Amino acid sequence: MLPSPYHFPTPFHSEASPPISRSLPRNSGLASHFRLPSVPAAGGADLLGYDLSPGYQPRVRTHSHSSGLRGASPRPHHHSNSSSNVDVRGVSPARHPRYKFFVGASWAAKPGNTDHTYPPNTPIGAWVLDTLRRHTFSSRRAKEPGEDFFFVQSLPYDAGTAVGIADGVGGWSNQGVDSAVFSQALMYYASKVYNGEIVTEAVLKGSSSRSRPKPKDVLKSAYDVTMTDSFVKAGSATTCLINFDAQTGMMYATNIGDTGFIIIRSGSIIYQSRAQFRGFNYPKQLLKNTTASRRSRNNSSDSPRDAESYEVQLREKDIIIAYTDGLVDNVYPEEILEICSVVLQEHRHDHDRPQTMSDRIVDYARQCMRSKTLLTPFERQAIKQGVAHKGGKIDDVTVVVTMVER
């Protein structure tokens, strides 16, 4: 029986979506040789194959501002963030691994939201730059992550792989606070907890093994240390931490706010993490306040104990996509599934697929967020709340894709 804070995820259930019509662009090449697996779309939408090659311009959703949309139930996803790429190949070669995890990451900052980081002469600043360098291919121009950040970390004793992703809440810029600093610090300290450089009481008490700490314990430890970092004056972030066990194939995850993950298995989305909100476009978030901001703002403080926790037995060929809300505010899960399906058809080598998937997902999200005619998940939520908004939501976007092999 699972410990009380954990539960097996229920099957993916998608609320009613607007009809999605797609036309294959001329000369796309897909119509003649490729057909996507049959996937039932939310609300009975008919999903057809479409060109997702680099440079493709999205023509995938018909826009409708009819009053009938007000009765639809939009997806509960919303918030921000970044773009470049990362490929970490076979990062957890256990002594006799039963499972291997191939990881790729991509990120892009929203326009004008660049050059956020710790000073490079500080440990965190050096780590941030090193992380971006290691995960940027020379074939692509390096991009800034904006207010998002992430990490990919091998666990000690070849126990597996951990990934983390965080979205710094941009509203702090109105108070002169760099929103990226909090998310970078949180990810830095989480990676150090995972690799054993930081050992806290939460990890010692909450985890059965220091080489396989539970994500919620890691999150609490990283948050506690971030709160004591004098360079982090204030800020907040949504976040998701995941670790993969190389021996058992178990996935352990935690998330707070609208940063989360999707699991794809055998051509279908089997689960999507639950987002937590306090109001429209107001996700739950880990927070550090200054004295002045405590007086001037009515901030509700969330803590790691408010995070959701998950345990999933993974299978070979499973695909796990961690994301910030810059993705799910602009792209529907069914579209993410289609992108992954196309990449699986195009690429034979497993170690190349996660990077290609993450690149294309981020590129497509950036195209969608710039559109004023696409009916996006964020617009649907705005309609439900009576808020005027058309098209995409400009934001940073970060995606980390993991594929499971045995």
Q: Which one is predicted more confidently, 220 or 207?
A: 220
pLDDT at 295 over 50: no
CATH of 30-405, one of 3.30.230.70, 3.90.1150.10, 3.30.230.10, 3.60.40.10: 3.60.40.10
pLDDT in tens, 15-71: 444 433 333 233 333 333 323 333 333 332 322 233 333 343 333 443 433 333 323
pLDDT at 84 over 90: no
Say how far apart CA 39 and CA 128 lie, in whole Å: 39
Mean pLDDT for 234-262 is 97
Tell me, what amino acid is at 177? Answer: V
The helix/strand/coil state of 150 is: strand
Length of the chain: 406
Q: Which one is predicted more confidently, 111 or 123?
A: 123
Instruction: Give the pLDDT score at 96.
Output: 78
Say how far residue 282 (Cα) sits from the centre of its chain: 17
Work out the pLDDT band at 342, boundaries 50, 70, 90: very high
pLDDT at 270 over 80: yes
Low-confidence winner among 128-137, 246-255, 257-266 (lowest mean pLDDT): 128-137
Q: Which two tokens stand for residue 123?
A: 């440990």
Say how far residue 284 (Cα) sits from the centre of its chain: 15
Q: Where are the domains of the chain?
A: 30-405
Mean pLDDT for 204-223 is 81
Q: How far is the CA of 56 from the CAs of 27, 51, 388, in angstroms?
A: 12, 7, 28
Low-confidence winner among 141-145, 210-214, 326-330, 342-346 (lowest mean pLDDT): 141-145
CB–CB of 264/258 below 8 Å?
no
Could you tell me which residues come within 8 angstroms of residue 112 by beta carbon, excluding any fewer than 6 positions away?
Answer: none
CB–CB of 201/238 below 8 Å?
no
Mean pLDDT for 355-368 is 96
Mean pLDDT for 273-294 is 85
Instruction: Quickly list DSSP for 242-302.
Output: EEEETTT-EEEEEEETT-EEEEEETTEEEEEPPP-EEETTEE--EEE--HHHHHH--PPPB
Whole-prediction pTM: 0.77
Work out the pLDDT band at 144, boundaries 50, 70, 90: confident
Tell me, what amino acid is at 217? Answer: D
Say how far apart CA 75 and CA 194 lie, in whole Å: 32
pLDDT at 133 over 50: yes
What percent of the chain has a predicted confidence (pLDDT) above 90?
Answer: 56
Say how far apart CA 144 and CA 78 lie, in whole Å: 21
Say how far apart CA 166 and CA 241 lie, in whole Å: 9
Instruction: Give the pLDDT score at 348.
Output: 77
Q: Which one is predicted more confidently, 298 or 33?
A: 298
Say how far apart CA 388 and CA 390 lie, in whole Å: 7
Instruction: Give the pLDDT score at 300.
Output: 60
pLDDT at 141 over 60: no
pLDDT at 78 over 50: no
Work out the pLDDT band at 125, boundaries 50, 70, 90: very high
Work out the pLDDT band at 282, boundaries 50, 70, 90: very high
Going by C-alpha positions, the residue among 325, 359, 314, 312 that lies closest to residue 340 is 359
Q: Is 217 buried (19+), middle (13-18) or exposed (0-12) by CB count in 10 A?
A: buried
Q: Which one is predicted more confidently, 325 or 78?
A: 325
pLDDT at 357 over 90: yes
Q: Which one is predicted more confidently, 294 or 306?
A: 306
Could you tell me which residues come within 8 angstroms of residue 398 by beta carbon, excluding any fewer than 6 positions away?
Answer: 81, 82, 83, 105, 106, 107, 108, 145, 148, 149, 150, 165, 167, 323, 324, 326, 327, 362
Low-confidence winner among 77-81, 157-161, 165-169, 186-190 (lowest mean pLDDT): 77-81
Q: Which one is predicted more confidently, 172 or 29?
A: 172
Q: Which two tokens stand for residue 327?
A: 């993705």
Instruction: Quickly list DSSP for 98-139.
Output: S-EEEEEEEEEPPTT-------TTSHHHHHHHHHHHHT--TT
Could you tell me which residues come within 8 angstroms of residue 168 by beta carbon, excluding any fewer than 6 positions away?
Answer: 80, 81, 116, 147, 148, 149, 179, 180, 181, 182, 183, 184, 235, 236, 237
Say how far apart CA 141 and CA 102 lie, in whole Å: 22
For tokens 């002045």, the residue is 292
Low-confidence winner among 22-26, 150-154, 336-340, 364-368 (lowest mean pLDDT): 22-26
pLDDT at 83 over 90: no
